[in-house]
Amino acid sequence: MKNRANKKWVKFISLVLLMGLLVSYEHSSTAQNNELLLLEGARLVIGDGTVIENGSLLLEGNRILGVGDPSSVNAPANATVIDLSGKTIIPALIDAHGHLGYEAYTSWGSVNYGRANLLDNLERYAYYGFAAAFSAGSDPDDLAIELNTDQQAANATGARFLFAAGMAPPGQGPNNQFLTHALAVESDTGMTILRGAASAEQGRAAVREIAGKGIPFIKIWVDDRGGSQEKLSPEIYRAIIDEALERNIEVFVHQQAASDMPDLLDAGVSGFLHGRIENGMDDTLIAQIKEQDAFIIPNLGLGELRRERIADDAFLTDAIPQAVRESLGNVFDARPARTADFTAYEQALRDGFARLIAADVDIILGTDAGAVPNHYFGYAGHRELEIFVRLGMTPMQALVAATSKPAQRLGLSELGTLAVGKSADFIVLDANPLDNIRNTRTISQVYLRGVEIDRAALRSKWSTTPR
Ligand SMILES: [Zn+2]
């Protein structure tokens, strides 16, 4: 009893502290609560596939009050007018597959996991223009629920935090390195991350427990990790998915083989966190994905960025300590030179991508950022967009895949497009991403919930102070 009362106090006090922090943020920001702000002259990429040249965006506090041609947006006389001619505004981005809490930019692992590092990771996302990040099955549930609740109650800064409960055979799930760290966080916090299911009935019982906590997403792993783990059997995942659907919980799946996808679709999964679009993505499977309205997260940067010396990319290194930049370069240089020929793989990717796009399957931005060391929040998302376009998407399609589509899939009704009534979450870019998707890097300003993120302050905090 006493313990529980203490916990409540800790929660209450941390909420009060958080609110205090936010009040001080708001005082220093430009957008006061009901202030009217008219942003004029920018190209508005709406997020639904349309664009308005020389548009007007009217904000009231944290909401979008008007959007359209200048003639259609009537700003009251007391609105502050800002001329953004030549700029492009896009909705803030969403990463539908990450793993927060483990990466602390000077080290990676369970030792970093906690509320402070989660908040740091969410700030990293915000810095890169992300309004929300979905942490896929690697967070202790009670801590994640508390952070989630506090964010909503206090209208917090930083990207919104979403998470899934994780399910796999007992003691398994994430890749072996990650698994060790997730289990360590479980033992450090005394909270549950991974719910093991050794039978259909255990799976159902775990789903009922997850439903009781109000968690709206479950991530399942269907992967034997090259023979090092047990693979979740169809009998068990069917029971899990059936029980979840009964309770309006969506099930997202980690799978490595396209051959597992038809049965997972038939069982009712909402989407795939690893695309496998280069292998086995035949027309029958694509038709089934479309028919069942499931989504695909290709998640290609996870492999690709390792083949690149990202320590040379100022878009990343501007916001990390010099020492980390150097070690990142050293780690890369110490690897054996890659001699593999990726030509055939690249062609297979392009073919799979083209067929998915032609079939109008929802391809969604997700990065797996944070699942392994040096795969960074936000940065990885911009890079994934480049890959989408290289493989055949138009820049407009790539932006839709990073805004309105993930918002729909994650139930983020106030995000994803520049539309009246939505939250004022957007990025002001110096150059047009419809000309070149790499222009999403030319970030002039990020607004989340109507408040401009102080990117210069974050950059200087992160680049000068090793954490
Ligand atoms: Zn993942």
pLDDT at 22 over 50: no
Sign of the alpha-carbon torsion through 444, 448, 451, 457: negative
- Between the CA of 314 and the centroid of ligand 1 the distance, in Å, is 26
pLDDT at 374 over 60: yes
- Between the CA of 4 and the centroid of ligand 1 the distance, in Å, is 33
**What is the reported pLDDT for 342?**
87
Bridge-based pairing state of the strands 63-68 and 51-60: antiparallel
Structural domains of the chain ordered from first start: 92-409 (3.20.20.140)
**What is the reported pLDDT for 6?**
43
**What is the reported pLDDT for 466?**
56
For residue range 232-255, list pLDDT tens digits in order: 999 999 999 999 999 999 999 999
Q: What is the average per-residue pLDDT within 397-415?
A: 98
Stated pTM of the model: 0.92
**What is the reported pLDDT for 72?**
95
Q: For 8-17, 29-38, 122-131, which range has the lowest pLDDT when averaged over its residues?
A: 8-17
- Between the CA of 136 and the centroid of ligand 1 the distance, in Å, is 6
For residue range 147-204, list pLDDT tens digits in order: 998 888 775 679 999 999 999 999 999 999 999 999 999 999 999 999 999 999 999 9
For residue range 100-145, list pLDDT tens digits in order: 999 999 999 999 999 999 999 999 999 999 999 999 999 999 999 9
Phi then psi dihedrals of residue 424, to 5 deg = -80, 80
- Between the CA of 229 and the centroid of ligand 1 the distance, in Å, is 16
For residue range 259-291, list pLDDT tens digits in order: 999 999 999 999 999 988 888 889 999 999 999
Q: Answer whether 243's CB lies under 8 Å from 204's CB.
A: yes
- Between the CA of 99 and the centroid of ligand 1 the distance, in Å, is 6
